[in-house]
Structure 1
Amino acid sequence: MDEDLNVTYITLDGFLEVQKYRYICFTIIFIVYILILCSNSTIVYLICIHRNLHEPMYVFIAALLINSVLFSNAIYPKLLIDLLSEKPIISYSACLFQYFMFYSIGGSEFLLLAVMSYDRYVSICKPLQYPTIMKKSTVITCLALAWLVPACQLVVSATMTVYEKLCSFTLKVIFCNNSIYKLHCVSSRAISIYGVFLLLNVAVFPLLFILFTYAKIFKITYSSCREVQKKAAQTCLPHLLVLINFALLGMYDVIIVRLESDIPKIVHLIMTLQLVLYHPLFNPMIYGLQMKEISKHLKQLLRQDKMN
């Protein structure tokens, strides 16, 4: 606690296992950060400049990749600074902001994937009604809700946390997540109940909706012609891979907080790094390679660069 400035600082104690290799870790993570920014931004750029990619499916993909950039910018700069610090610290207000960004973007990811599954359902199962259902105004509304709903709900959670008294000032993590609740002197029942509501609202219910939607798609395409089955596989498989990947990483986050004191620090560190390294790189790879139209434009862009 800094008495002069009246600012509370939290020590991030999750870096102890890598202090001897801090410069190697810094270099690797910095390279990964640049790769994340470049790969996601490249796919978004291609979707923006090519008119044949101005369809709802590609717009939602662009939103998903923008999420990865926002997420990385909320985590990586501080992470890189902390790797070079003798004693990584963060102000409590900055910690709350990082917590807010982490879960707000995570929630919007689930909601975007839910919207994308509905878009695929309408496209494959109701192709004649697709233009009237997935209008420009509908797409804009879905994007706004996907970003605003989790953000508004997380503001409430963060505000409730601000007024809790702190008895601990050390977190065994490398960035601020649900572990901040372990700083509180007394576990708040209201925060716990609201946390369950949040989890259901922005993760569990969207996940169930996605699974239900894809079950309907596969049921209809199973008895359809080969062309419809091929279209469904080409457009749905990348979304399902991203969903499975993100859902597993979301489970990691819950497990990490629950088992924090029961697992070795190095295992805890590796599991935490999965959240920030793997997923933001996974999305552009999947959509860049698996989505036919995006892949085609990406190859053209790379050929142009080679010619220049």
Structure 2
Amino acid sequence: MMINSTQVSYFTLSAYFDTGLFKYLCFMIVMSLYVLIVGSNLLLVVVICMNRSLHEPMYLFLCSLFVNELVGSSGLFPFLLVQILSDSHTVSAPLCFLQIFCVHYYGAVEYLNLAVMSYDRYLAICYPLQYNTRMTYNKIATLIALTWLCPCCAMVVLMSLTSSLQLCRNTIYKVYCDTHSVVKLSCSDINVINVYGLIATFSTIFGSLLLILFSYVRILRVCFSGSKQTRQKAVSTCTPHLASLLNFSVGACFEVSQSRFNMSTLPNVLRIFLSLYFLTCPPLFNPVLYGLNLSKIRVIFKSLISNAA
């Protein structure tokens, strides 16, 4: 359907399909996932903030990570719940652009946060005696601020470029809004936004991965030449981080593949699952990964449960 760009006040999400009465079951499943994600991440944020023994760099960066999981899931799940019960599957243009901001902002902050966490582990393992002087509270605050502010500035520019496009169509072939889907609807020149998108993506993802790679190369060198205690410390603190990085990267690859390549041969349910993976699985599994693997958090949880009992 060709329409004038000034008349695009809403978008139609065509990836939804009629599930009949099963939509109420889908609603309950998605609602349960959202409650679980919010409850687990919020609980860990409160535990870290309320316990002074956890006011260490690693746990403060974790707190930033859990807050970001809340941002990403809240940018998707309330919208998803409304669409599941809706019959029209349309979304207003302002709400669509707001969701684009939340989803892409979440992805950028996640990668930067994981990069900063790898740098923190590098200092803790490679320079244990100098760790407290190198990782000061001012440095922690600066790193967390940059993790959140840099993607925000990048997203403001991206949203400005996206919202200024002249759109000729209003049908998005997904269950939520994203930049690439909206850009494909444009009948104006998209070279500028494509170049900016590539630069921003390359800077965020590959910049973060380079810092992570550098950190772990140095950590491995110390582990191979260090004591058994050093290797145990590295394994206990780095394993959750690597699992979290792998989980999010797999989801991001699914999302990029869906956006850049034709996946029409795949079943619709599978395509929906792949597109939602990076917004659902990391926020769901990260609290479990860190809650079970980090001894300080386990001890505090046990004390809370015993006090409650």
- Classify the TM-score, shorter chain: over 0.9
Q: Percent identity?
A: 36
> 218, 236, 243: which is aligned to 2:238?
236
Q: Distance in 2 between matches of 1:260 and 1:89?
A: 23
Higher deviation after alignment, 151-160 or 6-15: 6-15
- Does residue 200 of the first structure (1) align with residue 202 of the second (2)? yes
Distance 1:19 1:32, change over 3 A: same
Give the CA RMSD over aligned residues: 1.9
Counterpart secondary structure, 1:241: helix
- Does residue 295 of the first structure (1) align with residue 298 of the second (2)? yes
Is the Cα contact below 8 Å between 1:2 and 1:9 reproduced in 2? no
Give the corresponding residue for 1:40: 41
Counterpart secondary structure, 1:102: helix
Aligned pairs for 1:244-263 within 5 A: 244-262=246-264, 263=266
Structure 2 gaps of 5+ residues are none
Q: Distance in 1 between matches of 2:119 and 2:44?
A: 22
Counterpart secondary structure, 1:147: helix
Counterpart secondary structure, 1:16: coil
Give the corresponding residue for 1:189: 191
Distance 1:279 1:231, change over 3 A: same
Q: Deviation at 1:7?
A: 6.1
Q: Distance in 1 between matches of 2:167 and 2:19?
A: 28
Is the Cα contact below 8 Å between 1:181 and 1:187 reproduced in 2? no
Q: Distance in 2 between matches of 1:154 and 1:256?
A: 21
- Does residue 66 of the first structure (1) align with residue 81 of the second (2)? no
Q: Distance in 1 between matches of 2:245 and 2:214?
A: 13
Give the corresponding residue for 2:270: 267
Counterpart secondary structure, 1:11: strand
Is the Cα contact below 8 Å between 1:105 and 1:147 reproduced in 2? no
- Does residue 97 of the first structure (1) align with residue 95 of the second (2)? no
Q: Distance in 2 between matches of 1:195 and 1:260?
A: 20
Give the corresponding residue for 1:146: 147
Give the corresponding residue for 1:28: 29
Counterpart secondary structure, 2:176: coil
Q: Deviation at 1:130?
A: 1.1
Distance 1:14 1:302, change over 3 A: farther
TM-score relative to the length of structure 1:
0.94
Q: Distance in 2 between matches of 1:18 and 1:62?
A: 38
Q: Distance in 2 between matches of 1:67 and 1:260?
A: 30
Q: Supply the AA of the counterpart residue of 1:142.
A: L
Is the Cα contact below 8 Å between 2:263 and 2:271 reproduced in 1? no
Distance 1:33 1:260, change over 3 A: farther
Give the corresponding residue for 2:157: 156
Distance 1:58 1:212, change over 3 A: same
TM-score relative to the length of structure 2:
0.94
Q: Distance in 2 between matches of 1:192 and 1:43?
A: 38
Q: Deviation at 1:19?
A: 5.1
Q: Distance in 1 between matches of 2:201 and 2:269?
A: 27
- Does residue 137 of the first structure (1) align with residue 141 of the second (2)? no
Counterpart secondary structure, 1:90: strand
Q: Deviation at 1:260?
A: 4.5
Listed one character per residue, the Cα deviations across residues 28-57 of structure 1 (whole Å, up to 9, x for unaligned) are 000110000110011111111111100010
- Does residue 79 of the first structure (1) align with residue 62 of the second (2)? no
Q: Distance in 1 between matches of 2:18 and 2:237?
A: 42
Q: Distance in 1 between matches of 2:283 and 2:62?
A: 13
In the comparison of the two structures, how many residue pairs are matched? 305
Q: Deviation at 1:115?
A: 0.8
Structure 1 gaps of 5+ residues are none
Q: Distance in 2 between matches of 1:265 and 1:21?
A: 16
Distance 1:281 1:79, change over 3 A: same
